[in-house]
Amino acid sequence: MTTHLPVTPAWTCGCCGVDWPCQIHRRELQAEYDDAPVSLALYLAAQLVDAAEDLAHVPAGYLHHRFLGWIR
């Protein structure tokens, strides 16, 4: 079980304190969704929508890169 979960409304990592998803949680998500990349993209897209509501002051392009730009 991960401790690298988002703390809202700032969307920081509850363990590291950096922007969520942090590097550690990204690796965990990649391992968890190894055989289901579309499901990973859908999960992160849903998180992006929630984060965009809380982080309205953050440019959309940055949020997209942060939540989805790192997946393949």
For residues 48 and 64, give the distance between their C-alpha atoms in angstroms, rounded to a whole number: 7
Domain membership of residue 57 (yes or no) is yes
CB < 8 Å & 24+ apart, contacts of 53-62: 54/8, 54/9, 54/10, 54/11, 55/9, 55/11
CB < 8 Å & 24+ apart, contacts of 14-23: 19/66, 21/47, 21/66, 21/67
Q: How many domains does the chain have?
A: 1
Domain membership of residue 17 (yes or no) is no
**Residue range of the domain that includes 43:** 22-72
Domain membership of residue 70 (yes or no) is yes
- Could you tell me the pLDDT band of residue 4, with boundaries at 50, 70 and 90? very high
Domain membership of residue 7 (yes or no) is no
Give, as one character, the DSSP assignment of residue 5.
Answer: -
**Model pTM score:** 0.92
Q: What is the pLDDT of residues 35-46, one digit of tens each?
A: 999 999 999 999
- Could you tell me the pLDDT band of residue 2, with boundaries at 50, 70 and 90? confident
Give yes or no for residue 70 having a pLDDT over 90: yes
Domain membership of residue 12 (yes or no) is no
Domain membership of residue 11 (yes or no) is no
Number of CB atoms found within 10 A of residue 25's CB: 21
Task: Note the pLDDT of residue 68.
Answer: 98
Q: What is the pLDDT of residues 19-31, one digit of tens each?
A: 999 999 999 999 9
Domain membership of residue 50 (yes or no) is yes
Domain membership of residue 44 (yes or no) is yes
